[in-house]
């Protein structure tokens, strides 16, 4: 038989550290914490019942949930962000990455889940080609590429549907 007893509040006490905003940015700066300080706030990775998702917590109090993805650091080269298999890699300098960039990359995730494997390989190749063209020519508009336009459109549709009136626009979105 298990004996139940009553505990006092002091016996149940848990110490939870509280941080000022600047200290919080240092703590959630990346690595194994699963949190990243980006422009305008922080993105935190979560997993619940086997589903991954991340939440943007804005410095202004906004919060947005992105289901099906987590974020990570690193880039394919050249410092650019990209999405692969449900992980949005924030690029080499993710402190300049913002919610509008997140919407665009989330649009690439939606391209992946809405299309076949072959279509996703085509999107990835098309995005890579747009990156190369931009780097080589210096004046090529990366977001004029059809795959990039579609990613921006899908990200914007997501934001407008779940967070109407948020004031955020997917990077590269052209109504």
Nearest to 38 by CA among 75, 104, 92, 109: 92
Take residue 74 and report the two structure tokens written for it.
């690193």
- Kindly state whether residue 131 falls inside one of the protein's structural domains: yes
Answer yes or no: are the C-beta atoms of 81 and 75 closer than 8 Å: yes
Predicted confidence at residue 76, as pLDDT, reads 65
- Kindly state whether residue 139 falls inside one of the protein's structural domains: yes
Count the domains in the chain: 1
- Kindly state whether residue 168 falls inside one of the protein's structural domains: no
- Kindly state whether residue 11 falls inside one of the protein's structural domains: no
- Kindly state whether residue 149 falls inside one of the protein's structural domains: yes
Residue by residue, pLDDT tens for the chain (175 residues) are: 555 555 555 554 444 444 444 443 343 433 334 788 999 999 999 887 778 889 999 999 999 999 999 998 876 665 678 888 888 988 777 778 899 999 999 998 998 888 755 566 666 676 666 666 666 777 766 677 778 888 899 999 999 999 999 999 998 898 8
Residue 87 is part of which domain span? Answer: 25-162
Is the pTM here over 0.85, yes or no? no
- 3-state SS class at 142: helix
């Amino acid at each position: 038989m298990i004996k139940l007893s009553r505990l006092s509040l002091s016996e149940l006490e848990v110490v939870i550290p509280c941080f000022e905003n600047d200290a919080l940015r240092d703590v959630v700066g990346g690595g194994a914490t699963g949190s990243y300080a980006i422009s305008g706030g922080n993105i935190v990775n979560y997993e619940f019942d086997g589903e991954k998702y991340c939440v943007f917590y804005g410095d202004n109090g906004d919060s947005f949930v992105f289901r099906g993805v987590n974020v990570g650091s690193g880039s394919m080269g050249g410092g650019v962000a990209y999405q692969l298999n449900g992980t949005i890699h924030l690029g080499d300098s993710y402190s300049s990455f913002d919610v509008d960039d997140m919407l665009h990359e989330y649009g690439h995730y939606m391209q992946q889940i809405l299309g076949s494997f072959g279509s996703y390989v085509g999107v990835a190749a098309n995005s890579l080609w747009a990156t190369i063209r931009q780097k080589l020519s210096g004046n090529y508009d990366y977001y004029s590429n059809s795959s990039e336009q579609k990613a921006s459109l899908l990200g914007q549709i997501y934001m407008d549907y779940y967070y109407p009136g948020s004031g955020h626009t997917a990077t590269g979105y052209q109504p």
